[in-house]
Structure 1
Amino acid sequence: MEEAVFLKTVKKSKGEIIGSSSATYCVTGATGYLGSWLVEALLERGYTVHATVRDHVYALSKLLTEEAAFKFAKENGIDLVSVITTTVAGPFFTASVPSSVKVLLSPITDEPEFFKILSAVNARIGSIALVHIEDIYSAHIFLMEHSNAEGRYICSSQSCPLSMLANLLAKEHSYSNKKRQRLRN
């Protein structure tokens, strides 16, 4: 699932709402699905943005990087916020289809490697938690603009069982009843 971590590098008092274009933010994973939307929204609001680029080991090193970032931020008086996202849905403007979207659409795209991920999540927690891309980048910006925000936040708008998600996707994308029946089994 997607995650973007941001550092607030502007000095402020606790409880102050920033919301000014003088703030500078560093968005990690800025070339990813969420990161690209977050950078776009911040720039539209007049913020200065520093970005880091994701590489292939990004997902593998995310937890260690986050732990190190929290330690560094604490030692240097920097506010750090991490937002943990669930399965992200919505439009994208990255060069390729984001893995989150591939996972979400896997019940109707016949991509078994992505469907295994969705099935595993559903088996573990009994449903698929979802969030729209606009909601998640808006949550990031809200947390950036409120100086009392710190630590980790989970962002999800709803969940549904895999069978319900598959039926909704099949209905929305007009797939055959035969395929819909296969998804129920």
Structure 2
Amino acid sequence: MAAKMNIDPLFTQQENRRQVYCVTGGGGYIGSWLVKTLLENGYTVHATLRDPGNTSKNSFLLSLPGAQERLRLFKADLCEEGSFDSAIHGCHGVFHVATPMEFGSKDPENEIVNAAVQGTLNVLKSCKRAESVRRVVFTSSLSAAIPFDKSLLVIDESCWTSLDVIRKINNHGRFYAEAKTLAEKAALQFGKENPSLAVVSIVLPIVAGTSRTSTAPFSIHMVLSLITGNPQLYGSLLQARDGFLGDSVSLIHVQDVCNAHVFLMEHPTAEGRYICCGNATTIPELAHLISEHYPQYTIKAKLDESVVAAGCARTISAKKLSDLGFIYKYSVAQVIDDSVQFFQKLGILN
């Protein structure tokens, strides 16, 4: 269910070919879909990977339409300053999507948090050295915008996760939240200190839909834990609900995510932080939707039918992005349809 760009591009297809964009983490879920979206719209793409020589893992990128003519793969490591120089050289903009995800690490504080912050600064330093880069779009998460104040009922761009609170939580998810919070703040601060390099951040909820990767992304596993019955993944879905909205979860289709990235890269007045959230639904409503569309699957998760889990019902405001002119394409039903059909294709639900 692919969709073309839902914005009016600033360039024609022919002019797009003169625009060169770098995507860090090009082999990941969002990164690979962003590479696909950029190629479809005529751009030349430099994608960074930890191991571009691994053809079995990266061949799907090279098979994308337009890849042979307009895609180059580069080796880069977030922990090595200067390793992004070659990939970013000559680029007009950079999408910094890559993030460390070593949840099995014995030292997550160092390998996730420190690597995320230092890696972001390494990418931005490469952008500054390149001189051709006019804008960086940093991919963040609602994990960096958790309002622990129960009286705050609207989550917007002014909300930041409290590090003092998050550090008291004893699970690996808190390292991801800490990493995203610190890395996004570091990116925006770098932009303030280097005004010639416009840094914009995009704050995402749970991303689902189909994928270009050969393995299923964690976020899709989490959404479909209702029918796979995995207790750890369902627990993560509940945590996402309780931490952000109190009684519901926010979902967005990966294509809407990529369209929003390109929209913010190309919009002349985009600046600062943008929350990008397409849909919010309760977990019982999500279960009903899955059962209605796919009656062959049983809802295995034990649903919490209580009205509010965290003591408050919040809403997420994506008004800043909408006011800029961005339009979402995908409903909750389409997010679920693409997610289920992707899992069916992989044989996970058979």
TM-score by length of 1: 0.77
Structure 2, unaligned stretches of length 5 or more? Answer: 1-8, 50-97, 103-111, 117-175, 306-350
The structure with more strand, counted as a fraction of residues: 1
What is the alpha-carbon distance in structure 1 between the residues aligned to residue 34 and residue 186 of structure 2? Answer: 22
CA 1:114–1:156: 2 relative to 1, 3 Å: same
Select the structure with the greater relative contact order (CA < 8 A; seq sep ≥ 6): 1
CA 1:150–1:48: 2 relative to 1, 3 Å: farther
Residue equivalent to 1:120: 239
Residue equivalent to 1:158: 279
Q: CA RMSD in A?
A: 2.5
Q: Work out whether residues 89 and 132 of structure 1, in 8 Å CA contact, stay in contact via their aligned partners in 2.
A: yes
Percent sequence identity over matched residues? 40
Q: Work out whether residues 222 and 234 of structure 2, in 8 Å CA contact, stay in contact via their aligned partners in 1.
A: yes
Find the partner of 2:182 among 64, 77, 89: 64
What is the alpha-carbon distance in structure 2 between the residues aligned to residue 27 and residue 117 of structure 1? Answer: 28
Residue equivalent to 1:36: 32
Amino acid at match of 1:139: A
Q: Work out whether residues 206 and 250 of structure 2, in 8 Å CA contact, stay in contact via their aligned partners in 1.
A: yes
Residue equivalent to 2:21: 25
Find the partner of 1:75 among 193, 216, 222: 193
CA 1:138–1:181: 2 relative to 1, 3 Å: closer
SS of residue matched to 1:91:
coil
Q: CA shift at 1:78, angstroms? A: 1.0
Q: Work out whether residues 166 and 180 of structure 1, in 8 Å CA contact, stay in contact via their aligned partners in 2.
A: no
Structure 1, unaligned stretches of length 5 or more? Answer: 1-16
Q: CA shift at 1:182, angstroms? A: 4.3
Residue equivalent to 1:4: none
Q: Work out whether residues 29 and 52 of structure 1, in 8 Å CA contact, stay in contact via their aligned partners in 2.
A: yes
Amino acid at match of 2:21: Y
Find the partner of 1:100 among 198, 209, 219: 219
What is the alpha-carbon distance in structure 2 between the residues aligned to residue 74 and residue 176 of structure 1? Answer: 50
Q: CA shift at 1:165, angstroms? A: 0.7
* Larger CA Rg, structure 1 vs 2: 2
TM-score by length of 2: 0.43
User: Over residues 51-79 of structure 1, what are the superposed CA-to-partner deviations in whole Å (9 max), with x where a residue is unaligned?
Assistant: 34444335463333323322333333112
CA 1:25–1:90: 2 relative to 1, 3 Å: same
Residue equivalent to 1:170: 291
Matched, 1:183 2:282: no
What is the alpha-carbon distance in structure 2 between the residues aligned to residue 115 and residue 180 of structure 1? Answer: 10
Amino acid at match of 2:23: V
Q: Work out whether residues 229 and 300 of structure 2, in 8 Å CA contact, stay in contact via their aligned partners in 1.
A: no
Q: CA shift at 1:89, angstroms? A: 2.1
Q: CA shift at 1:30, angstroms? A: 2.5
Q: CA shift at 1:127, angstroms? A: 0.4
SS of residue matched to 2:30:
helix
CA 1:61–1:180: 2 relative to 1, 3 Å: closer
Q: CA shift at 1:102, angstroms? A: 0.7
Amino acid at match of 1:129: S
Matched, 1:50 2:46: yes
